[in-house]
Each structure stands twice: as structure tokens, then as C-alpha cells.
């Protein structure tokens, strides 16, 4: 019997090929395939029920899907910009601190150390309309005598979620921008002083251009994070009330696991991925561009 002889390059690559296909390729192909079927978790044999583009057509014409899509973009836009501005302010202040800066930097990281699930529970309590901290504080201070329905009113619920999101992730911007501040060479700043800049002008014309690459790195990282936001929302509002805080992934998660319509959920997932890819590519383009402007090469 003739033994099968594989070429050496294939033998050497085989472990990597096996691992990659087990971890990445097979799930990817399987989920892509299932998005063309009416696969339901409760009826495994439905995996063989090919429905073509039906799931995609359904998602594209589904108002609920596009509402969740829009809400996710809104969350991205508002949360990222707020985090950037707050993080920038935080970093600028911390960089001016002369003693105890190390301690402050560590403290800045605290919010990042909590699981988003716990943060969700914490803010669910803080914004609770009966026993929550915020309402208690507002009522004790006499600012209002009513219980404000933070997590029940649609707009307020969205606000509460953004608040929690900003609380956890502002320090990502803070830390990265602080690193950027440390990396700015001293000479151009001094030259700007001699050239007649006020401190505001120095910031606008010299500091900020140097910080832009760091801001875009933070944006790219955070846009991936926020585009897949799930945990905080799931805990705080579960996408409610009446789907007013439904984001892409809470919708997809519910469709896949609660309604068991995995094929449809996968189809929505594949459309949603483009959102994350779009933002990441966009911010990386901006990053490269701002680096090139600083003469740091592509």
C-alpha cells in the first residue's frame, strides 16, 4: 500500500490550518451558511432548509432592524464624542498635576476594571425610579418631587445608557490622550510661546495636531467596542421600554437565542458587521492621515 505523502510546507502549516479552521473558519462558514437557511435552534433539521436571500431581504425591509441600526449609530456618535471631549479634558488636567500623578492615573483606570455587566447593574440601581440614587438625591435636594422614570421613558433610558457607557470608557480616551501629551516634544510648544501664542492658540495649533493620532487610535478601538454594545444595555433596559433602547446586538441576540431564529439573526449580524468595519476603516484612515501630517510616515 502506498503511503500518502504530504509536501513538507503543508505538513508544517497543518497545525495552524487546523486551529484556524476550528476557531475561525468553520464558525464563519457555518454562520454565513445558516444565514441563508431558516435555521431555528429549536428545530435543528431546519439548517438544511435553504431559503436563499430571504433572511437578508427581511432584515433590510424590517423597520425594527433599521431603528436599532440608527440607534447604534447614534450611541456611537454621541458616546464617542462625549468620551473624547471628557477624556481630553481629564488628560489635560492630569498632565498638569505635579505630585501624585501616578496615583491619579491608576484611579483613572478604575472604571475600566469593572465588568460591563456589573456597571450595568450599578447604573440600573443608580437610575432606578424608586430606590435609585439619582432620584433620591434630586428629591432630597428639592429639585423635583416626582420620581423621574430614568429607565422607563424612552429618551431618558437612552440618556442613562449613554451616561453609563461614558462613565466606563472615558478613561480609555483619557489614558491614550495622556500618553499623547507625554509624547509631544517640548520644543515646538516653546517655539509657539515665543512665536506669540496664547495658551489657547498653543493648544489649538500645536498640541491638538500632535494629539490627533492618539485620539483616532482611541476612536478606532472604542468604535469597535460600542458597535458591539450589548451587555450594559441588556442589563439596564433589556432593549426596552418598547424597544426604545434596542441596539443592533440586543436585537440580534434576542432574535437568535430568545426567538431561536438563528438564521435570521445571523443575516442581521452580517449586515451589522459592516457598521463596525466602516467605522474602524474610517478612523484608521483618519489616523494614517493625521500621522502623515505630522511627518510620521504612513
Partner 1 sequence: MANVTLRNVVKKYGVLEVVHSINLEIADSEFVVLVGPSGCGKSTTLRMVAGLEAISGGEVQIGGRVVNDLPPRERNISMVFQNYALYPHMTVRENLGFSLKVAKQAQPVIDDAVDKAAEILSLTPLLDRKPGALSGGQRQRVAMGRAIVRHPEVFLFDEPLSNLDAKLRTQMRVEIKKLHQKLKSTIIYVTHDQVEAMTLADRIVIMRDGHIEQVGTPLEVFENPLNTFVATFIGSPPMNLLDAVVKDGKLAFSDGTLIAIPPGYSLAEGQPVTFGVRADNIMPVGHALPHGEHMAEVEMEVNLTEPLGTETLLFSVLAGKEVQAKMFNPRPVQTGERMTFQIMLDKCHLFDAETGAALKR
- Kindly state the smallest distance separating residue 290's Cβ from partner 1, in Å: 8
Question: Do residues 40 and 55 touch, judged by C-beta distance below 8 A?
Answer: no
259 binds partner 1 (CB under 8 A): no
Angle between helix 26-34 and 262-293 (nearest 10): 120
Q: Exactly one of 30, 50, 66, 205 binds partner 1 (CB under 8 A); which one?
A: 205
Q: Which is nearer to partner 1, 158 or 215 (CB)?
A: 215
Rg (CA), the chain: 24
For partner 1, the closer CB: 179 or 212: 212
Q: What's the min distance (Å) between Cβ of 190 and partner 1?
A: 5
| CB distance 187 to 264 below 8 Å | no
Rule CB under 8 A: say whether 206 interacts with partner 1.
yes
From 148, 124, 125, select the one nearest 135 (Cα to Cα). 148
Selected range binding partner 1 among 51-59, 206-214, 217-225, 260-268, rule: CB under 8 A: 206-214
Q: Which residues pair with 43 in a beta bridge?
A: 40
Per CB under 8 A, 77 contacts partner 1: no
Residue 83 vs residues 101, 134, 174, 227: alpha-carbon distances, Å: 21, 21, 8, 15
Residues 6+ away with beta carbon under 8 Å from 249: 72, 228, 229, 230, 272
The residue (of 115 and 198) whose beta carbon lies closer to partner 1 is 198
Number of residues that bind partner 1 (CB under 8 A): 21
**Contact code string over 174-203 relative to partner 1, x by CB under 8 A:** -----------x-xx-xxxxxxxxx--x--
Residues making contact with partner 1 (CB under 8 A): 185, 187-188, 190-198, 201, 205-206, 209-210, 293-296
Amino acid at each position: 500500500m502506498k503511503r500518502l505523502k504530504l509536501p513538507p510546507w503543508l505538513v508544517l502549516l497543518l497545525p495552524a490550518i487546523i486551529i484556524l479552521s476550528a476557531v475561525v473558519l468553520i464558525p464563519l462558514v457555518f454562520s454565513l451558511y445558516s444565514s441563508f437557511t431558516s435555521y431555528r435552534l429549536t428545530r435543528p433539521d431546519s439548517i438544511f432548509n435553504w431559503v436563499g436571500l430571504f433572511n437578508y431581504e427581511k432584515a433590510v425591509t424590517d423597520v425594527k432592524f433599521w431603528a436599532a441600526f440608527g440607534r447604534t449609530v447614534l450611541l456611537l456618535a454621541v458616546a464617542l464624542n462625549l468620551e473624547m471631549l471628557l477624556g481630553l479634558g481629564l488628560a489635560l488636567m492630569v498632565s498638569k498635576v505635579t505630585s501624585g500623578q501616578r496615583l491619579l492615573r491608576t484611579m483613572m483606570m478604575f472604571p475600566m476594571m469593572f465588568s460591563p455587566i456589573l456597571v450595568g447593574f450599578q447604573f440600573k440601581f443608580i437610575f432606578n425610579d424608586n430606590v435609585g440614587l439619582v432620584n433620591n438625591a434630586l428629591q432630597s435636594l428639592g429639585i423635583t418631587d416626582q420620581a423621574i422614570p430614568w429607565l422607563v421613558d424612552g429618551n431618558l433610558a437612552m440618556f442613562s445608557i449613554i451616561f453609563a457607557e461614558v462613565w466606563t470608557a472615558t478613561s480609555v480616551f483619557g489614558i491614550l490622550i495622556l500618553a499623547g501629551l507625554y509624547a509631544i516634544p517640548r520644543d515646538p510648544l516653546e517655539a509657539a510661546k515665543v512665536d506669540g501664542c496664547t495658551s489657547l492658540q498653543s493648544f489649538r495649533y500645536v498640541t491638538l495636531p500632535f494629539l490627533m493620532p492618539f485620539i483616532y487610535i482611541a476612536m478606532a478601538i472604542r468604535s469597535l467596542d460600542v458597535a458591539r454594545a450589548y451587555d450594559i444595555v441588556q442589563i439596564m433596559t433589556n432593549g426596552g421600554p418598547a424597544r426604545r433602547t434596542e441596539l443592533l446586538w440586543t436585537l440580534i441576540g434576542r432574535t437568535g437565542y430568545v426567538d431561536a431564529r438563528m438564521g435570521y439573526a445571523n443575516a442581521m449580524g452580517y449586515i451589522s458587521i459592516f457598521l463596525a468595519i466602516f467605522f474602524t476603516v474610517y478612523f484608521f484612515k483618519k489616523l494614517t492621515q493625521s500621522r502623515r501630517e505630522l511627518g510620521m510616515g504612513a
